[in-house]
């Protein structure tokens, strides 16, 4: 006979056996603006993505007082944009090019070129980021589409060179996204 804390559990009873959400079962598709090369290889270099918790921001309470009582109301969120950060691994191709870095630099330079001071128009430097999460069988249960995304971090090739380090280089890129859509099954 099964113990009651197991047999009465609605997530593990016979026929249900719900699956946990796995934080490592995801894919990120990055669609840069026109003219930025290397998009096909972005997915293969993504290690992690953070910032999705800002989709649904905290809403602070607003209070009013009347005599000795307090009334509380929902306030306004402090913003509606989403800031995400993607950590990429860096590799060199057969031509000895740091191709992922070069692609991110192309994207960044569409908004601002630090060598010439040239600035771009928003319509020319925004892209889209699509994140899907799936279960062990590969079934998608969540899709987040972030539109009008532009790079807000600097594009530093390597922060530190160190003879004692054996770690491969990584690139961390942050985007600000104005519009988002979340689909849940």
Contact 81, 72 (CB under 8 A): no
Q: Where are the domains of the chain?
A: 21-48+68-184
Contact 52, 84 (CB under 8 A): yes
* Strands annotated E in the chain: 26-31, 46-50, 61-66, 69-74, 82-89, 127-134, 140-151, 170-184
Give the span between the Cα atoms of 67 and 63, in whole angstroms.
Answer: 13
**Cα radius of gyration (the chain):** 22
Per-residue pLDDT of the chain (185 residues; tens, 9 = 90+): 556 665 666 666 666 778 889 999 999 999 999 999 888 888 889 999 999 998 988 888 999 999 999 999 999 888 889 999 999 999 999 999 999 999 999 999 999 999 999 999 999 999 999 999 999 999 999 999 999 999 999 888 777 888 998 888 899 999 999 999 999 99
Contact 170, 89 (CB under 8 A): yes
pTM (predicted TM-score): 0.85
Q: Which two tokens stand for residue 163?
A: 């003879």
Give the span between the Cα atoms of 56 and 118, in whole angstroms.
Answer: 35
The residue with tokens 């601002």 is 112
Other CB atoms within a 10 A radius of the CB of residue 52 amount to 17
CATH of 21-48+68-184, one of 3.90.79, 3.30.390, 2.30.110, 1.10.3470: 2.30.110
């Amino acid at each position: 006979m099964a113990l009651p804390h197991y047999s009465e559990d609605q997530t593990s009873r016979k026929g249900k056996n719900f699956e946990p959400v796995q934080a490592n079962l995801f894919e990120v598709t990055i669609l840069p603006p026109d003219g930025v090369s290397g998009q096909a290889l972005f997915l293969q270099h993504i290690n992690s993505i953070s910032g999705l918790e800002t989709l649904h921001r905290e809403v602070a309470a607003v209070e009013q007082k009347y005599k000795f009582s307090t009334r509380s109301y929902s306030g306004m969120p402090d913003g509606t944009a989403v800031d995400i950060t993607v950590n990429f691994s860096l590799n060199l191709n057969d031509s000895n090019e740091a191709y992922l870095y070069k692609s991110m630099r192309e994207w960044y330079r569409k908004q601002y070129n630090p060598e010439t001071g040239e600035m771009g128009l928003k319509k020319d430097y925004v892209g889209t980021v699509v994140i899907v999460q799936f279960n062990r069988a590969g079934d998608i249960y969540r899709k987040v589409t972030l539109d009008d995304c532009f790079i807000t971090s600097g594009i530093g090739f390597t922060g530190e060179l160190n003879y004692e380090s054996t770690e491969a280089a990584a690139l961390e890129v942050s985007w600000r996204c104005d519009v988002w859509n979340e689909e849940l099954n």
